[in-house]
Amino acid sequence: FVALGIENLHQSVQWRDKTVESAAAAFNAGAVADGTLRGRVTIVGRQSAAPLKDFHVYVVGPYGNPNTVTDDRGVFELRGPTGTYTMTVKKSGYFPATATSHVQAGQTSNVDIQAVVIPGKLSGQVVIGRPASAAGFSIRFITEGVVEKTTVTNSAGKFDADLPEASYLIEVTKAGYKPTTVTATVASGRPTKINPISMAPGR
């Protein structure tokens, strides 16, 4: 009776071991059956550094429509079965961008998505307070210590520029005049007009 009980116990342990092995094999098979989709968002249309975090990523693929967001590097990652995936990235201040990638089981598919800035238009005028042309004043738009864009005034002293959404230091210079700076904030898709900038003779 004791021997029979031990034999039954041994068979029970063997059965449970095989069950665990089968479950592990099934899990590993499922893991292998999935592939990895890794994307990276880069930005087009600006010189200064821009935050790559929190671009919303909308994915259409074989296993539904999962959503995620980019990390500080502009990277996102998802796992899913073999198939074709379409990704659309969105964030305030940028045009939506779409890319397609094919994922293979057990492999990583890398895709780069370029997000294009929606600019705002900033305009202004330089005044010199005397009968002379206000043409040729150099205008530099600086944000986060980086020159985003440069332009020059026309004969009426007017200037404008399409700029990414940001706060700017506007630097105005011309030989024979004292350099002047003003600040302005530009919003995506909106016009911004600043007050006239007075320039005084000097060095």
Per the listing, tokens 């200037």 go with: 159
**65 vs 195, which has greater pLDDT?**
195
Q: How far apart are CA 131 and CA 129, in angstroms?
A: 7
92-148 confidence digits (pLDDT tens): 889 999 999 999 999 999 999 999 999 999 999 999 987 678 999 999 999 989 999
In angstroms, rounded to a whole number, what is the distance separating the alpha carbons of residues 52 and 40?
9
**Residue 84 carries which side chain, given as an amino acid letter?**
T
For 154, list phi and psi in degrees, rounded to 5: -85, -170
Q: Can you spell out the DSSP letters for 98-160?
A: EEEEEE-TT-EEEEEEEEEB--EEEEEEEE-SSSS--TT-EEEEEETTEEEEEEE--TTSEEE
CA distance 152 to 125: 10
pLDDT tens, 43-52?
A: 887 777 777 8
Can you tell me the distance from the alpha carbon of 170 to that of 66, in angstroms, rounded to the nearest whole number? 43
Q: In what order do the strands lie in the sheet with 34-44?
A: 75-81, 34-44, 108-116
Confidence label for 31 from pLDDT (cuts 50, 70 and 90): very low
Q: How many CA atoms lie within 13 A of 127 on its CB side?
A: 7
- CB-based contact 91:115 (threshold 8 Å): yes
CA 123 to chain centre: 26
pLDDT for 48: 72
User: Cα separation of 22 and 135, whole Å?
Assistant: 81
